[in-house]
Amino acid sequence: MGWQHMPDYIGLTRMLLEPLLEEGSSLAVDCETTCGGKRILLRASFSQEDKGRVFGRGGRTIHAVRQVLSAAGELAHQRVQLDVGDRDRPSSPRGRRR
């Protein structure tokens, strides 16, 4: 049983990340849909000072955020990927993939 509409991935990402940030307004989230709506690419950027809080020890926090987004995507039969980056650095047009 899946969802009829695409989940609010931007809202969910904001809900999960904003409490981790010193200044919640520094968060920027972008969403791109590909493959006929089957793949969702989320890009989140925030201040460099918040990087440690968002990633957590050993990357546990960001891993948990990605798991929640992935679970929401599974309910909608979509594959969700979250890329994170530094808001203070300019990005390439296709995101911050490394």
In a domain, 57, yes or no: no
Residues 59, 62, 65, 70, CA torsion sign: negative
pTM to 2 decimals? 0.81
How many domains does one find in the chain?
1
C-alpha to C-alpha distances, 11 to 6, 49, 57, 61, nearest whole angstrom: 12, 22, 25, 18
User: Domain containing 6: what range?
Assistant: 1-46
Q: Which helix (H) or strand (E) holds 91?
A: none
β-bridge partners, 83: 43
Residues 3-31: tens digit of each pLDDT:
457 899 999 999 999 999 998 888 999 99
What is the spatial distance between Cα 48 and Cα 2, in angstroms, rounded to a whole number? 37
In a domain, 5, yes or no: yes
Residues 60-94: tens digit of each pLDDT:
999 999 999 999 999 999 999 999 987 665 444 44
In a domain, 98, yes or no: no
In a domain, 11, yes or no: yes
What is the spatial distance between Cα 32 and Cα 95, in angstroms, rounded to a whole number? 11
